């Protein structure tokens, strides 16, 4: 018997996620009022209230964790003199095509030097680090910025995933040795797992990026990829081992215990909160709308009064009583609008509110309420005397339940491939290809170009965690394989 086609739910979203991810994502952003692309500068997006509240919560979690690990906050100017950018050749070469330049000011006309709108902060910060760091006693020197950066993105922009202005955190650190710098890179990866997997419930995997895809001016780049429902991966936070590539031109030095002046070893780390948010809503969302971790939801509990004529005061008084019970513990709200009960259900499901409490005259007569969880739709009839304990239990386990459901086993999404035709088929089926590759150094770039043009994916790099697969030859050129790499489509 033919499988019956799944019907779209009667909500504001008209497209099923697993049938057309792109259209579903666009509708989710529009119908849930998360962003507005109608601002009249191309690639610059307005983040609406609902998204902004959650992104602020994400910033707070990240900032608290960074400070717990010894980072201190800074606030830096958004403009960088062109002379700063020119100090590190690879860096300026990598970012020049994307820089927004300020060339005039007020009625004074042209500025004596072009000023770049910050594409990233290395060349601004390290000028200051050279002034601040004097001795080995100043190290490790760990600082971060919560800021915006601007890049003239040439590819198609998409709210949260890719824009010309994005919101992020930058961590920039200086150490006495290369080994200490590498330990910071490992800590950055741990931090990413703690926030994105544990708090945001986004499954990720870290890759060492190929030489042709690393941060301009880095020794090595390590980046987290998340697998979206579309079969494409989205790059999330990346951490960069800079070594002394920036410390030498920027004169970031310290006097060591032996009295000798030495250059510092540096790292930088850039979790883009706007992109993290996009990944979270895209991965966790369903055909009814948003699904949000409990701590990150703008409203955690919504109370829906089910009102019958003549029972208005009874029901609203009970709703207020319940709201007062939880208002000092959770973000809770009563929807006493004139909308129908059904429309209220659909609206708050679309918004991803974790817990719904339904209060009606019949339930009041039974001294109970109905409690519904958003992420799985489970309903409970809860006695009023048990309500506080039940809500606390749901709140405590809510994010954990989403995480357990959402953290896919990456191995199930990976296909081990030995031939190019099989790689093309796997990529077209939304899989990640695991294969042998001659190298991730620049001399293998020609093989990466073949991957992009003929297979339709990108070489993401080699896994940072344990590699279980080995290959004798490169998938593309047939030379002996020096490493195992992963290929996927990407945003």
Whether residues 122 and 191 share a domain: the answer is: yes
Residue 434 lies in a domain: yes
pLDDT in single tens digits along all 491 residues of the chain: 344 444 444 457 899 998 899 999 999 999 999 999 999 999 999 999 999 999 999 999 999 999 999 999 999 999 999 999 888 878 878 788 899 999 999 987 899 999 999 999 999 999 999 999 999 999 999 999 999 999 998 777 789 998 999 899 999 999 999 999 999 999 999 999 999 999 999 999 999 999 999 998 899 999 999 987 677 899 999 999 999 999 999 999 999 999 999 999 999 999 999 999 999 999 999 999 999 999 999 999 999 999 888 888 999 999 999 999 999 999 999 999 999 999 999 999 999 999 999 999 999 999 999 999 999 999 999 999 999 999 999 999 999 999 988 777 677 889 999 999 999 999 999 899 999 999 999 999 999 999 999 999 999 999 999 899 999 999 999 999 999 999 999 88
Residues 388 and 260 in one domain: no
Please report whether residue 87 resides in a domain. yes
Phi-psi region of 2 (alpha: psi -120 to 50; beta: other; left: phi over 0): beta
The answer to whether residues 26 and 118 belong to one domain is yes
Structural tokens at position 310: 């003549």
Looking at the domain assignment, is residue 10 inside a domain? no
111 is a domain residue:
yes
Q: CA-to-CA distance for 17 and 13, rounded, in angstroms?
A: 9
Q: What is the CATH number of the domain that holds 90?
A: 3.30.930.10
- The total of structural domains in the chain comes to 3
One-letter-per-residue 3-state SS of 31-47: HCCCEECCCCCCCCCEE
What does the block give as tokens for 143?
């600082």
The pLDDT, as a whole number, for residue 88 is 81
Quickly count helices (H) and strands (E) in the chain: 15, 23
Residues 106 and 224 in one domain: yes
Residue 341 lies in a domain: yes
Indicate the residue among 364, 394, 424 that finishes a domain.
394
> Counting Cβ atoms within 10 Å, is residue 426 exposed (0-12), middle (13-18) or buried (19+)?
buried
Is residue 431 a part of any domain in this protein? yes
Q: Where does 193-272 have alpha helices with state H?
A: 247-250
For residue 79, the surrounding DSSP H or E stretch is strand 79-81
| Phi and psi, residue 141, nearest 5° | -110, 110
Pull the structure tokens for residue 133.
Answer: 């760091």
Does residue 118 share a domain with residue 266?
yes
Instruction: Give 127's contacts (C-beta < 8 A, 6+ positions apart).
Output: 84, 250
Residues 101 and 249 in one domain: yes
Residues 243 and 341 grouped into a single domain: no
In-domain check, residue 427: yes
Contact in structure between 283 and 228 (CB atoms under 8 Å): yes
Are residues 53 and 168 both part of a single domain? yes
Q: Tell me which of 253, 284, 315 is where a domain ends.
A: 284
With contact defined as beta carbons under 8 Å apart, do 24 and 228 qualify? no
Same domain, 351 and 255: no
271 and 305 part of one domain: no
Q: How far is CA 219 from CA 181, 241, 437, 450, 483, in A?
A: 11, 6, 20, 25, 18
Q: Which of 284, 312, 346 is the last residue of a domain?
A: 284
CB 145: neighbour CB atoms within 10 A?
A: 20
Q: Is residue 399 part of a domain?
A: no
Together in a domain, 273 and 321: no
- Reduce the DSSP state of residue 149 to 3 states and report it: strand
Token readout for 235 is: 């790059």
Residues 317 and 269 in one domain: no
What range does the domain containing 337 cover?
Answer: 299-394
Query: At 424, which CATH number?
Result: 3.30.110.30
Name residue 148's beta-bridge partners.
167
| CATH label of the domain that carries residue 331 | 3.40.50.800
Pull the structure tokens for residue 428: 């077209």
For 216, what's the count of Cα atoms within 13 Å in the CB-facing half-sphere?
19
């Amino acid at each position: 018997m033919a499988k019956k086609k799944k019907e779209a739910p009667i909500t504001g979203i008209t497209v099923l996620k697993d049938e057309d991810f792109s259209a579903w994502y666009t509708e989710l952003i529009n119908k849930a009022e998360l962003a507005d692309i109608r601002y009249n500068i191309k690639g610059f997006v307005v983040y609406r209230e609902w998204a902004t509240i959650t992104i602020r919560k994400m910033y707070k979690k990240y900032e608290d964790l960074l400070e717990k690990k010894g980072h201190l906050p800074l606030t830096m100017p958004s403009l960088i003199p062109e002379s700063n950018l020119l100090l590190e050749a690879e860096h300026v070469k990598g970012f020049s095509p994307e820089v927004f330049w300020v060339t005039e000011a007020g009625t004074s006309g042209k500025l004596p030097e072009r000023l770049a709108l910050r594409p990233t902060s290395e060349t601004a910060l390290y000028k200051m680090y050279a002034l601040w760091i004097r001795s080995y006693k100043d190290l490790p020197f760990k600082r971060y910025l919560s800021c915006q950066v601007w890049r003239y993105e040439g590819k198609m922009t998409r709210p949260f995933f890719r824009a010309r202005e994005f919101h992020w955190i930058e961590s920039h650190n200086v150490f006495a040795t290369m080994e200490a710098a590498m330990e910071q890179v490992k800590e950055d990866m741990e931090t990413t797992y703690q926030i994105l997997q544990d708090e945001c419930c986004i499954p990720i995997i870290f890759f060492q990026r190929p030489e042709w895809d690393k941060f301009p001016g880095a020794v090595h780049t390590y980046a987290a990829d998340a697998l979206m429902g579309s079969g494409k991966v989205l790059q999330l936070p990346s951490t960069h081992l800079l070594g002394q590539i920036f410390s030498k031109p920027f004169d970031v030095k310290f006097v060591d215990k032996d009295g000798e002046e030495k250059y510092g070893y540096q790292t930088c780390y850039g979790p883009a909160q706007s992109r993290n948010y996009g990944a979270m809503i895209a991965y966790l969302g369903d055909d009814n709308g948003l699904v949000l971790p409990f701590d990150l939801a703008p409203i955690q509990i919504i109370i829906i009064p089910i009102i019958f004529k003549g029972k208005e005061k009874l029901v609203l008084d009970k709703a207020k009583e319940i709201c007062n019970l939880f208002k000092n513990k959770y973000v809770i709200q009563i929807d006493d609008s004139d909308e129908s009960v059904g429309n209220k259900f659909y609206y708050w499901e679309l918004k991803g509110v974790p817990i719904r409490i339904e209060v009606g005259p019949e339930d009041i007569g039974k001294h109970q309420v109905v409690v519904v969880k958003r992420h799985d739709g489970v309903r409970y009839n809860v006695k009023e005397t048990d309500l506080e304990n039940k809500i606390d239990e749901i709140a405590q386990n809510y994010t954990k339940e989403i995480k357990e459901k959402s953290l896919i086993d990456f191995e199930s999404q990976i296909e081990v491939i030995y031939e190019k035709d099989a790689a093309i088929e796997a990529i077209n089926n939304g899989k990640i290809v695991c294969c042998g590759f001659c190298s991730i150094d620049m001399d293998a770039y020609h093989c990466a170009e073949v991957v992009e043009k003929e297979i339709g994916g990108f070489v993401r790099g080699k896994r940072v965690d344990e590699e279980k697969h080995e290959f004798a030859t490169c998938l593309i050129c047939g030379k002996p394989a020096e490493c195992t790499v992963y290929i996927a489509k990407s945003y």
